[in-house]
Amino acid sequence: MTDFALWRKTILSLFIGSVGAVLAFAIQLPAPALTGPSIAVTLAGLLGVKLAFEPRVRDISFLVIGLSMGTSVTPEVYQSAKQWPFSLATIVITVTAAFFLSQWVLKKYWKYDAKTAVLGASPGHLSFVIGLGMDTGADIRLVSIVQSIRVLALTLVVPMVVVWSGLAANGFSRPTSFMALSWVAASLAVAALLGLGFKKFKVPAAFVLSGMFISLTSHLTGIVSGHMPEWLTLPALTILGSMIGTRFSGVSYVELKKAFSAGMAITFVGMFAAVLFAFLLSLFVDLPIAQLVVAFAPGGVEVMAAMAFALDLDPTFVATHHIARLFYLSFFVPLALMWWGKD
């Protein structure tokens, strides 16, 4: 694909996503800047519109989201951090339980072969899973579509569950104080350099983590105060939502029909496990159940962290737990493929 063609598809994706965001705000969907674009761009892709995303645009949005997350640190974060070891241990249990049940469901009811079932059941880490399965004989195209359905469904379902159940507030939390423009520019530049370094060493969610690290450091030391301006955060969330929707560009009706019910099944399993273990853990620790649900739901790191920010939950807590999930899966999935990926 030429640069011109990629940029044309990126601009079209952003236009469709922006329309979706406006409509989502109008009808008051939960986390509208994220869910609206996801729905709009997905529908456009399924209708045959060719859409894609320029990686540099994506990375800029990740930087802004990461920097926004770090500004949410409060003294209460120090208190809740004492309980993180319990929640980090619980997310390992949640991921393992969701995996075993998902791969069993895919084998028994959708007749997936063992390798495709193992890769399709992985609760996240899609790029790693696809790379791992390239030479195994698994149906990688099917795995990719099933996993994309999971990411989209969780992007839409999680905010609705936590908002409509009354566990979290609706809409986008609007700050009252903002960073000076000079500090915004400086933070973006430093975070970008750090993100490139993280990316070189293959750190998951490199630009989100670099933005969060720079923002946390600058705010905790008192060098910077205030939040990222909304004219940056809202477009960043819209870009992220639009990017999720582009996963379905080029997916045929036959492919979607084959993968949709399986994708929804593993989404239900993952969400059930997240809610169950979040509820059980909330009986023993003083952490909001909505925050635990978002931290345990097997969606994308960037998406779930951005969702926590949009729902006025603790995005640092959520991001940390999703990074832990990815590291765990980096060791667990190869072993699962070796032990349970045999027909």
Tens digit of pLDDT for each residue in 143-164?
A: 999 999 999 999 999 988 888 8
Q: Which amino acid is at 9?
A: K
In degrees, rounded to 5, the angle at the alpha carbon of residue 97 between the alpha carbons of residues 125 and 77 is: 70
- In the chain, the N- to C-terminal Cα span, in Å, equals 38
Cβ neighbourhood burial of 299 (10 Å; 0-12, 13-18, 19+): buried
> pLDDT by residue (tens digit) across 207-232?
999 999 999 889 878 888 888 999 99
Alpha helix positions (H), the chain? 3-27, 32-46, 55-70, 75-81, 84-110, 114-121, 126-133, 140-164, 181-200, 206-220, 230-245, 253-282, 289-296, 301-310, 315-340
Q: What is the pTM of this model?
A: 0.87
Share above pLDDT 90 across residues of the chain, in percent, rounded to a whole number: 67
Alpha helix positions (H), 283-314? 289-296, 301-310
pLDDT for 127 equals 81
The closest of 296, 293, 292, 316 to 306, measured between CA atoms, is: 316
Average pLDDT for the chain: 90
- Greater confidence (78 vs 5) lies with 5
- Greater confidence (97 vs 2) lies with 97
The gap from C-alpha 160 to its chain's centroid, in whole angstroms, comes to 15
| Residue pair 67/187 in contact by the 8 Å Cβ criterion | yes
Contacts of 275 (CB under 8 A, 6+ apart): 161, 293
The closest of 124, 111, 119, 121 to 137, measured between CA atoms, is: 119
Residue with tokens 């529908």: 43
Distance CA 306, CA 310 (A): 6
Instruction: Give the mean pLDDT of 194-200.
Output: 96
pLDDT for 264 equals 97
Distance CA 132, CA 272 (A): 27
pLDDT bracket for residue 204 (50, 70, 90): confident
> pLDDT by residue (tens digit) across 315-340?
889 988 998 999 999 999 999 999 98
The gap from C-alpha 293 to its chain's centroid, in whole angstroms, comes to 13
In degrees, rounded to 5, the angle at the alpha carbon of residue 84 between the alpha carbons of residues 81 and 88 is: 155
The CA–CA distances, whole Å, from 97 to 101, 121, 251, 266, 275 equal: 6, 11, 30, 12, 12
Element containing residue 138 per DSSP (H, E): none
Contacts of 3 (CB under 8 A, 6+ apart): none
**Is the pLDDT score of 175 beyond 70?**
no
Distance CA 133, CA 257 (A): 22
Share above pLDDT 70 across residues of the chain, in percent, rounded to a whole number: 94
Q: All domains of the chain, ordered by start, with CATH?
A: 3-340 (1.20.1530)
Residue with tokens 């989209």: 152
Q: How many CB atoms lie within 10 A of CB 229?
A: 16
